[in-house]
Amino acid sequence: GANLVIIAVPVLAIRVLLAEIAPAVGPDAVITDTGSTKTEVLRWADEYLPKHTGFVGGHPMAGKTETGPLAGSPDLFVGARWVVVPTVRSSEAAIAEVNALAESMGATSMLMDAAEHDAYVAAVSHMPMLAATALFSMMRASEAWPELSLLAAGGFKDMTRLTATDAAMAFDIAVTNREHAGHWLNRYIGALIDLRERV
């Protein structure tokens, strides 16, 4: 009976929920998600809701590393971009509903193709998360870590903040956007090598 269904779980769990809700959602229901990758999500929507015109992928670009109800914030989406990713079957009414949802939260909606979305967020979100993990892992593995950790201040904290990303969410992002994340990691490695030569 719901008019609007918002699926807000780690990416791989979206597939499970789409399968579960498929028999229950009405033909006029608008369904969207908040997943960090979109190509696989749209494929799952096609698999489990093959005739539904109300599914529209979504990704509010306002992530936090903190999770749970106590980490909630009424202005989380204010000023953020909310990427709207329709399927080939998404109705104009469904797209308008998701755009209105984004704007009601204070975000600016932005229409995008799924592959384009995944390539771009790999650059500005997924690769930085993976790079932060590599930096922290490298330092933590050092025999000097007990001393290094005492000296680590704001710069190190800023550079490694994304390592606090929920592990399930980080895993799902890496699995569903492996190719694009790998591409940007390779470009980052190239930039680091160039920087090393300049130093």
For the stretch 45-58, pLDDT in tens is: 999 999 999 999 99
C-beta atoms surrounding 71 within 10 Å: 10
pLDDT band at 38 (very low <50, low <70, confident <90, very high): very high
Between CA 14 and CA 40 the distance in angstroms is 10
What pLDDT does 67 receive?
Answer: 79
For the stretch 163-172, pLDDT in tens is: 999 898 899 9
Between CA 98 and CA 83 the distance in angstroms is 10
For the stretch 9-30, pLDDT in tens is: 999 999 999 999 999 999 999 9
Between CA 102 and CA 77 the distance in angstroms is 8
What pLDDT does 118 receive?
Answer: 98
What pLDDT does 144 receive?
Answer: 96
Between CA 69 and CA 100 the distance in angstroms is 24
What pLDDT does 68 receive?
Answer: 80
The SS3 call for residue 137 is helix
- Provide the residue count of the chain: 199
What pLDDT does 18 receive?
Answer: 98
Average pLDDT, the chain: 95
The SS3 call for residue 82 is strand
For the stretch 147-183, pLDDT in tens is: 999 999 999 999 999 999 989 889 999 999 999 999 9
Between CA 57 and CA 98 the distance in angstroms is 9
For the stretch 56-107, pLDDT in tens is: 999 999 977 887 888 888 999 999 999 999 999 999 999 999 999 999 999 9
Q: Which two tokens stand for residue 137?
A: 């892992």
42, 131 in Cβ contact below 8 A? no
Sign of CA dihedral 73, 40, 23, 52: positive
Between CA 154 and CA 136 the distance in angstroms is 14
DSSP 124: I
Q: Comparing C-alpha atoms, which of 169, 159, 166, 168 is closest to residue 137?
A: 159
DSSP 141: T
Between CA 45 and CA 32 the distance in angstroms is 10
Between CA 40 and CA 79 the distance in angstroms is 27
